Every structure is written in structure tokens, then in C-alpha cells.
Structure 1
Amino acid sequence: MKETLAAHRYAKALFLAARDRRGVSLDAVKKKMGGLCRALAADHAVREAAGSPLIPFEKKCSALCGVLGDRTDPASELLGRFVRLLLSKKRASLLPLIAARFESVVEESRQALKAVVGSAAPLTEGDLRSLEAGLSRLTGKKVSAEVSVRPELIGGLVVRAGDLVIDNTLKSRLKDMKTLLGS
């Protein structure tokens, strides 16, 4: 809980810094932050450098900031400073959570919402547009859906969009029926 709150605060601070900094694109910061998180996930040496108390601060900074690439790029420069701050506060382990929160804050600022949809069967383009339109009416924001096919749902959809969760799957209904009949 404390880590989630801290990650949200850091993400909000990064958003405000990126928004107010001339020449920095929110999309560029989001992309570079995603690349940094992928590097942390994929490269054991970078991940170890970030978390090890035995590695000097400057080596940690150069390992993580090296992933960002061109330091003359405004987004890289901003993220480099942000990474140094996280390392100095011993919060580098929060980077993946901060990246996810940062993306949410950016989408929220654009009155947009990303929905993660699980479907038992592939959706047609028309079904997807209809679903996005319905979710947009429901939330009052522009919704873009990311669909994954999950056969274990048996039938129907499960939608996660921000705090909203809609579970209209056959698997869920069968589970509810089993509970109802069992009691």
C-alpha cells in the first residue's frame, strides 16, 4: 500500500515535470520509461546495479541512465535526473510501478482510459469499436481497449478500465450459480 502510494506520487511528480518542461513530450517520457523498465526486467546486471547497496551511487546512475540513450534528448535528460532522485531515495525498485502509474496519469490528463479486455473468442473490429464506445459512454472518457483472447473464460468478456471491472463471463456466471445452488 505504501509503495503504491509512493509510486503514484513519484509518477505524478514526473508527469508535472515533463508537462512543464519545454521540449519534453509526455509520449517520449512514457516510451523511454517503458524501455527502462524492459531493460530492468531483461538485464540481470542492470537490475542488480539498481538494487545493490554494495554498488556505488555513481555506478548505479551510469548503469540505469545508460539505458536511456542520448542525454541531449530532453526526455532522456529529465528521466536521468528522475532516476538519480529515485536512486538517492533508494526507490529504484518502484520503477515498474511508477511507469504504470505514469501512463495512467498521462491518460487521465488526456481524458483517456485504457481498458484491458479478456475475451473467450476473438472480437471483430466492429465489436471492438462498439465495446469502446459503450465504455466511453459509461466512463465519460475516450477508451482504447487492448484485447487478449482467454479461452478459459468459456464465453463472454471481462473488462478492466481504471477502477472499473466488469465480469460478464460464462465462467463467472457458472461459479455464481454453483455458489447459489451450494448454499
Structure 2
Amino acid sequence: MAEFATIARPYAKALFGLAQEKNQIESWLGGLEQLASVVQQEKIAAFIEQPEKDASEKADMLVGLVDLSDSNLKNFVSVLAEQKRLQILPEVYAQFQDLTLALNHTKRAVIYSAYALNDEQLNELTAELQKRFGTNLETVTEVDPDLIGGVKVEIGDQVLDLSLQGKLNALFTAMTN
């Protein structure tokens, strides 16, 4: 995945710059989300990998499935197809989304918890995290029973592990060293 991130970065930045220029950030974000979702489907991924299909065929198929009306996004898909880079669309979408959040001075936080959080718990935790990291956060929650208790938070490349499993691992490491 790190390789996809490196390859996708210049594409995402270029597309984001054009989206800003055209004042189309939100609509293109939606189009990229649809494209990323379609590309991750098993049958579509297999079609994209077929060497006997030419780039225009692959691009036309994707554009037809997603029903893109914007000519700039259609051209972007064609460029990716010609460069044999259609499989990086999910990463381009993720980086485009990060650039959009950065424009709004917001970061994305993924909160893993052993059990589902209710709205009150999530709001309280989000407020604490925003204070701690000094930025607005867009939160996504995921349940991970392996944590046993507590939470683990990922914001960009930072990880805050307040889970019981994390504390047990730290204790184990301290005892064995």
C-alpha cells in the first residue's frame, strides 16, 4: 500500500489543484469515491488487469459504470488507464479526501474500540482528541474486539493507543527486557 500511496500522491495533488481552480472539490470527491468503490470490486479489478484490453476500453467501462458527467474527471480516468494506474484510484480518492480536509483545517481520525461507542461517548472523546491534537477532527469508528477495552486512535501517521491490549503489550515488553 505504501507504494500505491507514493504513486497516487502526484495524481491526487494535480487533480485537487484542478478541482480548486474549477471550484469542483465536493463534486469530484463524490465521483472519486464512486470510482474507488467500483475499482475495488473483484470483477472490475480483474477486467482492469487484462492486458488484452486497451486503455480506452477500460476507461470507457469505468466512466460508464459510474456515470461521470464531468469531462475533467473522464479525462483523468483516461490518463490513469493509459498509464496503467487505474488500480490506484482508491488511494487517489483517500489522498484527495485528505487534501480536502486539510483545506478545511480538519484531520481524519479513526477510533478503534473494543465495543461500539454511543453518540455521547463519541462526542466526548472527539472533543478531548481535538483539544489534545489542536485540530478539528472528522471521526470514523471501528469495533476491534481484540483491544479488550479502551480505545486506539489513528490520526494521520500518529497513533494513540489507550487500549487494554496495548497496555498489556507494553507491560509484557517491560517485563521481558
Per the normalisation by structure 2, the TM-score is: 0.90
Letter in 2 for 1:180: A
Contact 1:41 1:47 in 2 (8 A): yes
Distance 1:64 1:37 in 2: 10
Kindly report the root-mean-square deviation, in angstroms, between the aligned alpha carbons of the 2 structures. 1.8
Match in the other structure for 1:34: 33
Distance 1:3 1:152, change over 3 A: closer
Contact 1:132 1:143 in 2 (8 A): yes
Contact 1:68 1:80 in 2 (8 A): no
Distance 1:54 1:124 in 2: 51
Distance 2:67 2:103 in 1: 27
Q: Which residue, out of 142, 154, 157, partners 1:160? A: 154
- Superposition deviation, residue 135 in structure 1: 2.0
- What is the total number of aligned residue pairs between the two structures? 176
- Superposition deviation, residue 2 in structure 1: 4.7
Letter in 2 for 1:8: R
Letter in 2 for 1:181: M
Distance 2:165 2:4 in 1: 33
Distance 1:70 1:172 in 2: 45
Distance 1:2 1:37, change over 3 A: closer
1:121 aligns to what SS in structure 2?
coil
Distance 1:90 1:34, change over 3 A: same
State the Cα deviation string for residues 42-87 of structure 1 (Å, max 9, x = none).
251x32332322112221121111123152xxxx322111111111
Match in the other structure for 2:22: 21
Distance 1:127 1:57 in 2: 49
Deviates more, 1:50-59 or 1:101-110: 50-59
Specify every segment of 5 or more residues in structure 1 that has no aligned partner in the other structure, as ranges. Answer: none
Specify every segment of 5 or more residues in structure 2 that has no aligned partner in the other structure, as ranges. Answer: none
Counting aligned pairs with the same residue, the percent is 27
Contact 2:107 2:138 in 1 (8 A): yes
